[in-house]
Every structure is written in C-alpha cells, then in structure tokens.
Amino acid sequence: MLENLRRDITRNSHDGRWYANPGFRIVAVYRFGMWVYSLPAILRVPMWVLYRLLKLPFFFYHVHLWAGRGGARIGAGLRLIHPTNVMIGRGVEIGEDCVIFHDVTLGTGQIPGTPKIGNNVDIYPGARVLGGITVGDRSMVGANCVVTRDVPPDSIFLAAPGRVMPRSLSPVARGADQKTDASTDPAQPALPP
C-alpha cells in the first residue's frame, strides 16, 4: 500500500500540493480500504468502519470507487483529474500510471465482465468503457466515447468526428427558416396585433 501511495503522491504533485488534490485523497482512501481488507478479520471490522467514514465526503463528488473483495483493482500512480461523476465499478482492473478525467464510467456492459485498463492509459471526459473488454497499454480514450470493444495497445479511440452540413439538409432548420422568411416577406399581409 505505501509504495502505491508514494507513486500516487509523485504523480499528483505538480504544484507541490498533492495533499490538497481531491483526486489524490479519493485514491488514498481507496488504498487505505484495500489495506484494511488485507487485515485479519478481528482487526478488519473496526478499520472497515473507519474506511467507510473516510469515504463519506467523496459522495459529494459522486465518485464511486470501492475497495475490498470484488472491488476495483488499481495499479500505482492513478490520477483523477477533476474527480466528479466518476464510476469505477466492482471488478474493474486499472493498470499503473493511468489518468481518468471527470464524467467517466468504467463498468459492466453487453459483453459479460468488467473492463481491464492497461498501463499508461488516459481516459478523457465523458468516456464510457463498458463490458469485459481490454484497453491496451499506452492507449487513449477520447472525450465522450462509448467503448464496447477491445482497444489495441498504443491506440487512440475517438468518437465519430463532428461534421458540418448545410442548414438546407436539415428538415427542422429548413422549417424554421421558412417560418422566418414568411414573417419577414413584405408580400405577406401583416398579422393583426
């Protein structure tokens, strides 16, 4: 636990204030929970209560990261950037030196099982990694992506690129344009107020 915590401190100390980083504190409480789970049963119960109390403030961030049997398995050096609305499901495996941004879900999906995230993986805001899939080492999952298949190592998974189309191809926009044209056409009689 202490070695993992040292790596977490190193990865979260960009400005020297790792202790003020809520992402670091969330991961530190998780590490404490994993340590508590490894204790003999007689010591585990009171320490588990302490773990649950330490975990309470993080519900305001809406971060779900559970330690213990069936909980997530996380390697050293995890960084949670802007840790809000992050769901890391039970049984998820995350490798070393990963970065996870806000609004990310790692959990079950159509493929049975839970995701296995490799080492040095970056997962950007709004991404959903679902089901028993593998995201390879040194990969990136782009913002707002829904990943339901394996991602090979050294890859970038991006959402469909945005594209621009003329307003005339959209029936909704065309209808709105026609209403605007009719209201400004001088040949049309003005409606009484």
- Over residues 48-85, the pLDDT tens digits come to 888 888 888 877 888 888 888 888 999 999 999 889 99
Distance CA 25, CA 48 (A): 17
Determine the distance from the C-alpha atom of residue 48 to the mean position of all C-alpha atoms in its chain, rounded to a whole number: 26
The domains of the chain, with CATH numbers, are 2-157 (2.160.10.10)
Model confidence, pTM: 0.78
For the chain, which ranges sit under pLDDT 50?
Answer: 191, 193
Q: How many Cβ atoms sit within 10 Å of the Cβ of residue 138?
A: 14
